[in-house]
Structure 1
Amino acid sequence: MASLFLLGRRLFPRRSDFLRTVNAPRQLSSSRSSNKKHVNGVDLFYEQTGGGKHVVLLLPGALGSSRTDFGPQLEALNKEVFTVVGWDPRGYGRSRPPDRDFPPDFFERDAKDAVDLMKVLGFGRFSLLGWSDGGITALIAAARNPDRINKMVVWGSNAFVSQEDLKLYNMVRDVSKWSARMRRPMEETYGDQGFAELWASWVDGISQFVHRPEGSICMELLPLISCSTLIVHGEKDPMVPGFHPQYLHKHIKGSRLQLMPEGKHNLHLKYAEQFNKLVEDFLEE
């Protein structure tokens, strides 16, 4: 059970103050606004804060949203330097309907939605902060849109699915084995049965890549990434083995790899102050 508890944190923050952001009111921060924009046939929810010239898009993990996944970044990133946008990918959080599905190109679809949302919002160039699944989306977006991406930070992300990864995903498929505290935020968002079904669909969706050559999600796109890239990895991450950040570092030209010895999958939440400073220093270079 302990391994299930740890592995499940691909999705959930550990600390209760971040769990409470799921149902936080719109007035959580007077400097934060939220709305929906119609993009590629769906209404996408987003939040925006800060007024700086450097625009940053936050890309959440599996089943996640801007508020469940990025509370400390929306609150604490320097609002004078950065304009920070968080979004809920289609079928997640408050970007519903539609219901979420996982066709073979779902990461490509998320990448296009994310970039097109930023176009609709009037941002010509911006940087990407992508966690977990959101990091995969960021990699694809950066490769497909080199003229729009300033810089990129990814963590807890992978460009392929190995047999080892597949075992990890299947270990956490059954959400009834998770603790009530872990289930609660997503059950409040999707309902008990809805969450269980959506999570099982995600496991199936991510697992399908193992049948591709070398298990590729976006391996062939990595050499096309030209923006300055920082790869962060928690050395105690139970969901993403250490060979994944090493692979990204090797195949993204000029990238940097920053290891956090005590970091797990949710390092940007547990070590928010350290992570935010690392990101701000990189983006401001």
Structure 2
Amino acid sequence: MPSKEDCSMFTPNPEKMQIEEFSIYWERFGTGPKVVLCITGLLGDITYSFYPVWRKLDPTKYTLIGLDLPGYGNSRPPDRNYFRPGQEFIFERDARLAKKLMEQLGYQKFSIIGSSGGGTVGFHIACHFPDFVEKLVICNTPFEIIERDALVFRFLSNLDNWPNDQKAYILRKYGRNYAEDVVKSWERYLQVELPAQSHTKRLQRNLENHLKAPTLCVLGLKDSVVPPDGARKMKERLPNMKIHEVTYGQHDHLSFLSEFVRVTENFLLN
């Protein structure tokens, strides 16, 4: 959970950006030459997921842009719903919105840090808009859907099964009913996606055919949500992707914050 010191370093943005029908909340920190877009995962927001990271980065080296995806953080309304049969895949929509945000801010070239599902959004940006993305860092991002996933998220649809620090923050930010409904919508999506894996296979093909950006995949080997096997198998198909394994790392990148920042900086700056 971000500390009071983390929060005191940053100034909340009083304005949102209108992109399509969405009012997107975003923040900028730093004035450095390395522009990095930061994207959170399930029920994440800038404050929880990235303030602790930003605090460890030199603002003279980086310009850090964070956004709350529609339905998360301060980008509400609308509510977040992953189960959208017959509609555009939500991560592809998120990717388009994020790219438009960066364009409207004046950035034509940037790197991306994405945690969990935020890494999936990052992949879609890098595949659909390859000329915009310089480098990509993903952390504990799923590359495949397996049968256990629906069971895992059914378990996580009860907030009492979350780590205490995340649970406390989520309850304050969203309230129990909304947060649990979001996780249940992801579980429903997984149940429908699992048999044919149409979105998953399309993303894998796009990664093979269109991913140009050098990519670092950070894996926590104690991640109980996303097993590392999917990333290891995908590495065989993506020669441009490096893997860094953290022996003690759990799903949340904050569980190994110092190492995550160290390897991310080394990758982005070299």
* TM-score, shorter chain, exceeding 0.5: yes
Q: CA deviation at 1:42?
A: 0.7
Secondary structure of the 1:159 match is: coil
Q: CA deviation at 1:250?
A: 2.1
Say whether residues 1:189 and 2:173 are aligned partners: yes
Q: CA deviation at 1:111?
A: 0.9
Query: Which of 258, 266, 269 is residue 281 of structure 1 equivalent to?
Result: 266
Partner residue in 2 for 1:269: 254
Query: Which of 53, 57, 70 is residue 50 of structure 2 equivalent to?
Result: 70
Secondary structure of the 2:64 match is: strand
Taking the TM superposition and a 5 Å limit, the aligned residue runs for 1:37-56 are 37-56=17-36
Question: Is the 8 Å Cα contact of residues 47 and 87 (structure 1) preserved in structure 2?
Answer: yes
Q: CA deviation at 1:57?
A: 0.6
Partner residue in 2 for 1:260: 246
Question: Aligned letter for 1:264?
Answer: Q
Alpha-carbon distance change, 215 to 146 in structure 1, aligned in 2, over 3 angstroms:
closer
Question: Aligned letter for 1:229?
Answer: T
Please give the alpha-carbon distance, in whole angstroms, between the structure 2 residues aligned to 1:19 and 1:136: 27
Identity rate, percent: 27
Query: Which of 65, 79, 82 is residue 59 of structure 2 equivalent to?
Result: 79
Taking the TM superposition and a 5 Å limit, the aligned residue runs for 1:135-214 are 135-178=119-162, 182-213=166-197
Secondary structure of the 2:226 match is: coil
Alpha-carbon distance change, 116 to 172 in structure 1, aligned in 2, over 3 angstroms:
same
Partner residue in 2 for 1:222: 207
Q: CA deviation at 1:72?
A: 1.6
Question: Aligned letter for 1:277?
Answer: R
Please give the alpha-carbon distance, in whole angstroms, between the structure 2 residues aligned to 1:264 and 1:179: 11
Please give the alpha-carbon distance, in whole angstroms, between the structure 2 residues aligned to 1:274 and 1:181: 20
1:236-281 residue CA offsets vs partner (Å, 9 max, x unmatched)? 1111112122133222232111111111112x31222221121111
Partner residue in 1 for 2:80: 100
Q: CA deviation at 1:120?
A: 1.0
Secondary structure of the 1:151 match is: strand
Question: Is the 8 Å Cα contact of residues 33 and 49 (structure 1) preserved in structure 2?
Answer: no
Question: Aligned letter for 1:255?
Answer: M
Please give the alpha-carbon distance, in whole angstroms, between the structure 2 residues aligned to 1:179 and 1:141: 30
Aligned length: 263
Alpha-carbon distance change, 145 to 163 in structure 1, aligned in 2, over 3 angstroms:
same
Say whether residues 1:113 and 2:97 are aligned partners: yes
Question: Is the 8 Å Cα contact of residues 37 and 43 (structure 1) preserved in structure 2?
Answer: yes
Question: Is the 8 Å Cα contact of residues 135 and 214 (structure 2) preserved in structure 1?
Answer: yes
With the length of structure 1 as denominator, give the TM-score of the two structures.
0.85
Q: CA deviation at 1:19?
A: 7.0
Please give the alpha-carbon distance, in whole angstroms, between the structure 2 residues aligned to 1:243 and 1:66: 28
1:173-213 residue CA offsets vs partner (Å, 9 max, x unmatched)? 23355576543211211222222222222322344321324
Question: Aligned letter for 1:174?
Answer: N
Question: Aligned letter for 2:137?
Answer: V
Alpha-carbon distance change, 279 to 50 in structure 1, aligned in 2, over 3 angstroms:
same
User: For the aligned residues, what is the CA RMSD?
Assistant: 2.2
Please give the alpha-carbon distance, in whole angstroms, between the structure 2 residues aligned to 1:73 and 1:21: 12
With the length of structure 2 as denominator, give the TM-score of the two structures.
0.89
